[in-house]
Amino acid sequence: MFSDELLKYSWEETTQSIGAKTAADVKRALNSPRPTVDDFMALISPAAAPFLEEMAARSQALTRERFGKTVSMYIPLYLTNACTNSCVYCGFNRHNQFPRVVLTPDQIEQECLAIKELGPFENLLLVTGEHPRLAGVDYLSGALKICRPHFSNLSIEVMPLDTEGYSTLVKAGLNGVVCFQETYNRDRYKVYHPAGMKSNFEWRVNGFDRMGMAGVHKIGMGVLIGLEDWRTDVTMMARHLLYLRRKYWKTRYSVNFPRMRPSESGFQPNVVMTDRELAQLTFAFRIFDHDVDISVSTRERPGFRDNICTLGATSLSAGSKTDPGGYRTYPQSLEQFAVSDERTPADVAEAIRRRGAEPVWKDWDKVFDL
């Protein structure tokens, strides 16, 4: 399991190594045909800041070589804000006092219909708080079966499951799983996740192994930018991705780097990442892994999303509601976080076209699930 692999790497030594990178290290990384994790550290280091234009050009060339001029479109559907965790940064924290919503089968159906009115979406991400009793495998399996007639590609972002749970959902129509480790800093992890299932670092970080063993078609990874040093965190994630690629080589992978947004928790970021630094990270990840899908959500402002999708990102959400039933059933329920890009899906698609790219609404067909 990756938790054992992670013990090989020191957080402090990784941080120091990144800070020690030089311009020569960056140039070597840019010219490497198969960059290593050490090269990746050079590309995200402060020493790489003057090389942003060269990184952007290489990232764009690699993205076009692998993905063409396409941007995959997806939309999230929040099924419930019920949660048993106490994450200090999240609006769904169990100690926050607000009405909890769990969508019924009929309401899930209505939300699907409302989403289809927004645009020709075929990639749907089902999101829940982490509540095993109210949103366990049986509930998720039922939700997948309801959504399947409306969408060709179904992913989930829910509590980590055991291997059998993931296998059950694959049989129910699941294509992908997204899970944010939040931070790979084992010593600090409990500070942000003091109680609930999510407080178990090993269970969460090893969830990706369980996804791979269950044969999940696509695995999405991410860290929450704002908790710990972002450069060290994403380096640990790069190591994790490399480990997964070697062990579960049949699986596709995606990465996301969500920056903290305001939520009901009131938690303030410990680290602030600038737009320039987020662009640098995006370029570095594309140079490090030519095939990985890089996703950018509506957390980010419109101008940034429009530009980054031509230089390295390959998936965008649009029209997102981060509250359960937010498209039709409960338009005023509590959001998990505030969105920055409130444009309609049509407006986002048009912005992509203006930059010479093509929005892709469907990149997977139900026939491949047979």
Task: Determine the Cα–Cα distance for residues 211 and 234; give it in Å rounded to an integer.
Answer: 20
Specify the DSSP class assigned to residue 199: G
| CATH number where 186 lies | 3.20.20.70
Query: Which residues, including other chains, have CB under 8 Å from residue 229's CB and lie 6 or more apart?
Result: 15, 271
For residue 16, being part of any structural domain is answered with: no
- Report, as an integer, the average pLDDT of 149-167: 97
Residue that the structure tokens 């100690």 belong to: 95
Q: Are strands 176-182 and 153-157 parallel, antiparallel or unpaired?
A: parallel
- How many structural domains is the chain composed of? 1
Query: In 10 A of CB 332, how many CB atoms?
Result: 8
Task: Determine the Cα–Cα distance for residues 265 and 60; give it in Å rounded to an integer.
Answer: 37
Confidence of residue 92 (pLDDT cuts 50, 70, 90): confident
| Full-model pTM | 0.94
Q: What is the mean pLDDT of the chain?
A: 93
- Please say whether the beta carbons of 325 and 101 come within 8 A: yes
- 135 token code pair: 């949103």
Q: How does pLDDT run across 185-233, given as a tens digit for each residue?
A: 999 999 999 998 999 999 999 999 999 999 999 999 999 999 999 999 9
Q: How does pLDDT run across 322-354, given as a tens digit for each residue?
A: 889 899 987 665 555 567 899 999 999 999 999
Task: Determine the Cα–Cα distance for residues 118 and 344; give it in Å rounded to an integer.
Answer: 8
For residue 44, being part of any structural domain is answered with: no
Give the range of the structural domain holding residue 145, as residue numbers without chain letter.
55-365
- Report, as an integer, the average pLDDT of 125-151: 96
For residue 36, being part of any structural domain is answered with: no
For residue 46, being part of any structural domain is answered with: no
For residue 45, being part of any structural domain is answered with: no
